Amino acid sequence: MSNSNWLVETTGADGEGARFILTMYERRIALDDLPYFLGLLDHLSARGCAVPRTIHDREGARFRMVDGKAAALIEFLPGISPDEPSAAQAHALGAALAQMHLAGRDFPLERANAMGLVENCATLEACGSEALARIDADLPAMIGPARAAAALDTGGLPRAHIHADLFPDNVLMLGDSVSGMIDFYFACTDTMALDLATTHAAWAFGPDNRYRPAIGASLINGYETVRSLERAERALLPELAKGACLRFVASRAEDWLDTPDDALVTRKDPMEFVARWHYYDETGQDSFA
Ligand SMILES: Nc1ncnc2c1ncn2[C@@H]1O[C@H](COP(=O)(O)OP(=O)(O)O)[C@@H](O)[C@H]1O
Ligand SMILES: N[C@@H](CCOP(=O)(O)O)C(=O)O
């Protein structure tokens, strides 16, 4: 578990209640990163993005220590995470993602991507072929593609503050409108096209893990209503989407091996993203037409 969330409801002196999310940071999240994550939320929220602002304490702090753990109070946003997003919802999310990329341009802090293309390769290599094969016989074969992704030259692509984990469960929607993008704890400074490719890989596959062209196309079209992709970004989208798949193959494989068989948590299957990697590898630019 990375953090624990509680819904806090207040009654208010005037009878007008309010809701907040109280987050306690349990592990994985470094204290030093909190000013980046929480500052970015406030920055984006102040510029009209659908992200929760943080509630400061009387001294103006965005988080405080409680029993040795950091805790923050965050605005509660309405909405429901879509189980099976529609094309209209994907279109709205694409636009919201581009808006976020542009709104973050003058946020002054930086955070390196701890799960970038190079790091994912290192994670899979550190797991080792033998351990990966214990999860699935086809998993060790992903080390080669991870090396290729790590060697990808993304130096010329425009960068911004990116969410990096914008799965449907990290998006709140009211109908077809995005009411919240949450869970910014993988946010970092990296290429915007990688964020779009990651969101594509996370959104455009159905429960049967088959590609849903209408979702993929709507996401990209929605993004481009706010920010046009540069030619170099568009050209690299298939490779970035494969890199994005490897991010989840690597983190899920590592988590799988770290989780005892009798643990109560449900492990996420790395093979789901191996299949998506193969899809992008086979179809190339067709997935982004
Ligand atoms: N700011 C928020 N507004 C409304 N609901 C929220 C907010 N933050 C979190 N939630 C709710 O809490 C759930 C878990 O939050 P999340 O940050 O995604 O934690 P985790 O990744 O640890 O599950 C979300 O799916 C959502 O239902
Ligand atoms: N969305 C990622 C992993 C991030 O997991 P979280 O539970 O910490 O939000 C995946 O699907 O693998």
Domain with residue 28: its CATH number is 3.30.200.20
Which tens digit of pLDDT belongs to each residue from 136-150? 999 999 999 999 999
Tokens standing for residue 252? 């899920």
Can you tell me which atom of ligand 2 is nearest the CA of 252?
12
Which tens digit of pLDDT belongs to each residue from 48-92? 999 999 999 999 999 999 988 999 999 999 999 999 999 999 999
User: Which residue has a Cα nearest atom 6 of ligand 1?
Assistant: 76
**Of the residues 29, 54, 75, the one at which a domain ends:** 75
Point out which residues pair with 72 in neighbouring strands.
23
Please say whether the beta carbons of 219 and 204 come within 8 A. yes
Residues 222 and 256 in one domain: yes
Residues 191 and 249 in one domain: yes
**Of the residues 75, 106, 123, the one at which a domain ends:** 75
Residues 158 and 209 in one domain: yes
Query: How far apart (Å, rounded) are the C-alpha atoms in residues 104 and 111?
Result: 13
ipTM: 0.94
User: Which residue has a Cα nearest atom 6 of ligand 2?
Assistant: 2
Ligand 2 neighbour 248 (Cβ under 6 A): yes
Task: Over range 255-281, report the average pLDDT.
Answer: 93
Residues 17 and 131 in one domain: no
Residue 81 lies in a domain: no
**Length of the chain in residues, anyone?**
289
pLDDT score of 289 more than 60:
yes
User: Which residue has a Cα nearest atom 4 of ligand 2?
Assistant: 165
Ligand 1 neighbour 169 (Cβ under 6 A): yes
User: Which residue has a Cα nearest atom 18 of ligand 1?
Assistant: 183
For residue 202, the ligand closest to its alpha carbon is 2
Ligand 2 neighbour 76 (Cβ under 6 A): no
Query: Tokens 């001294």 label which residue?
Result: 59
Residues 16 and 122 in one domain: no
Residue 56 sits in which domain range? 3-75
User: 269, exposed or middle or buried, with CB in 10 Å at 0-12, 13-18, 19+?
Assistant: middle
Task: Measure the N-to-C terminal CA separation of the chain; round to a whole number of Å.
Answer: 38
* pLDDT, mean over the chain: 95
**Of the residues 75, 108, 130, the one at which a domain ends:** 75
> Hey, which of 120, 165, 259, 276 would you mutate to test ligand 2's pocket, going by the most ligand atoms within 8 Å of its Cβ?
165
Within 13 Å and on the Cβ side, how many CA atoms surround 225? 13
Confidence of residue 238 (pLDDT cuts 50, 70, 90): very high
Residue 197 lies in a domain: yes
Point out which residues pair with 30 in neighbouring strands.
none
> Hey, which of 167, 203, 271, 273 would you mutate to test ligand 2's pocket, going by the most ligand atoms within 8 Å of its Cβ?
167
Closest CA to 195 of 226, 225, 158, 221: 158
Ligand 1 neighbour 211 (Cβ under 6 A): no
> Hey, which of 80, 165, 182, 185 would you mutate to test ligand 1's pocket, going by the most ligand atoms within 8 Å of its Cβ?
182
Ligand 2 neighbour 195 (Cβ under 6 A): no
Ligand 2 neighbour 211 (Cβ under 6 A): no
C-alpha distances (whole Å) from 125 to each of 193, 247, 250 are: 25, 13, 9
